[in-house]
Amino acid sequence: MGLHRVVQPAGVLPQAAWRLDASREIAPNEVRIRVQRLNLDAASFRQLSEKHGGNGDAVRAEVLEIISARGKMQNPVTGSGGMLIGVVEEAGRRSPLGLKAGERVATLVSLTLTPLVITDGLARWDGRSEQVPCDGWAILFARSIAAALPEDEDPQLSLAVLDVCGAPALTARVVSRYVEDRQRAGDPTPVSVAVIGGAGKSGSLSLAAARRAGAARTVGVVPVAAERDALTAAGLASVVAVADARDPVGLSTAVTTALGTPADVTVVCVDVPGCEHGAVLATADGGTVIFFSMATSFSAAALGAEGLAADVTMLVGNGYVPGHAELALGLLRAEPGVRRLFAARIAAD
């Protein structure tokens, strides 16, 4: 778990630590990665970029400052990190991760708990994109997770998919459960799913995963017409609707109109605050809301559902579900619509 790398405060886990020891030497159960690229969490990059009014040099300077002060890339305001790709430089003899020197990998644990040193001053990054080319090293612990990058895919595309691979995996699990429960009960009601932010990375994968898991009807909610057109062209949702996710009544009306009923499962994939109440209102009694946005407020969700007397199950989106990397990369291969949306997003970055 990397407890020996925690410098301050003592006794907490690496993710909760203010500062980690990112020394180059590895313990027998650790792995050192030569880092080639960071992929900053969307909420983190947005906060930094807005704070500095889009000034890339200032964003770069603050990211360097955070990494050097904390020994990891964890945005102190959003609490979030991101992930990285690189090449295995040295694997300790007792590491259970099965990695070999020279393998190209992406880490599937957050940067918030990954000891990290940058050695090139981020000289090749303009501070204007979540994708950060860089040189340096990072340390993986025994319980860290890393996935080998497919050799036949653009690494940047694989990285973007792996970054959010927990979302389609958990969506598939929850939707499958509703499908199985209805089958067992002999209930012919089709399972309906709403994905808020359906044209984004985690959103488009979640729509594809929901359909494959047996959702009969899906709606992708997007904020603007351009995303509506892109998602419609991708063919991943039964219906595409435009609504502001921060407007509870507007959002729930859009979902209910599109599906003909509130959703059995609502998946929140937009990284803006204030979507909790709309998501709850858009969900049927007995339904489930899965919050994947790091901008989610725990108390707004808990008190919102209580205040609306809404009998909904609310899940904290866990980025780890067994098999998540394979499932997400499989969706990229099988769903041309997913590939198109990801490629367009990377090109726009």
Binding site for its own copies (CB under 8 A): 1, 3, 11-16, 78-81, 108-110, 112-113, 143-145, 166, 247-249, 274, 277, 291, 294, 296-322
CA 237/CA 257 separation, integer angstroms: 14
Residue closer to its own copies (CB basis): 114 or 217:
114
In one-letter notation, the amino acid at residue 168 is P
CB-wise, 108 or 149, nearer to its own copies? 108
Q: How far is the CB of 55 from its own copies (least distance, A)?
A: 26
Closer by beta carbon to its own copies, 125 or else 293: 293
Distance CA 238, CA 231 (A): 10
How near is the Cβ of 252 to its own copies at its closest, in Å? Answer: 10
Cβ–Cβ under 8 Å, residues 288 and 315: yes
Q: How far is the CB of 298 from its own copies (least distance, A)?
A: 4
The CB-of-145 to its own copies minimum distance in angstroms stands at 5
Q: Using the minimum distance from each CB to its own copies, give the nearer residue, 191 or 325.
A: 325
- The CB-of-154 to its own copies minimum distance in angstroms stands at 24
Report, in Å, the least distance between residue 268 CB and its own copies.
11
Give the total residue count for the chain: 349
Q: Give the DSSP per-residue string, 206-269.
A: HHHHHHHTT-SEEEEEESSHHHHHHHHHHT-SSEEEE--TT-HHHHHHHHHHHHSS-EEEEEE-
Q: How far is the CB of 297 from its own copies (least distance, A)?
A: 7
Give 8's Cβ-side CA count (13 Å radius): 6
Please state, in angstroms and rounded to a whole number, the distance separating the CA atoms of residues 141 and 229.
Answer: 43
Question: Which is closer to its own copies, CB of 230 or CB of 293?
Answer: 293
Alpha-carbon dihedral 76, 78, 80, 81, rounded to 10 degrees: -60
Given the structure tokens 């040295």, which residue do they identify? 90
Residue 95 or 110 with smaller CB distance to its own copies: 110
Beta pairing class for 146-148 and 82-91: unpaired
Find the helix or strand (DSSP H, E) in which 171 lies.
helix 166-185
Report the C-alpha gap between 348 and 102 in whole angstroms: 31
Residue 201 CB neighbours (<10 A): 22
In the bound state with its own copies, the residue whose beta carbon lies nearer, of 125 and 141, is 141
Q: Which helix (H) or strand (E) holds 300?
A: helix 298-307
Shortest CB 153 distance to its own copies, Å = 23
Q: Name the amino acid, one letter, at 219.
A: V
**Which one, 267 or 341, has the nearer CB to its own copies?**
267
Count Cβ atoms below 10 Å from residue 283 Cβ, excluding itself.
Answer: 26
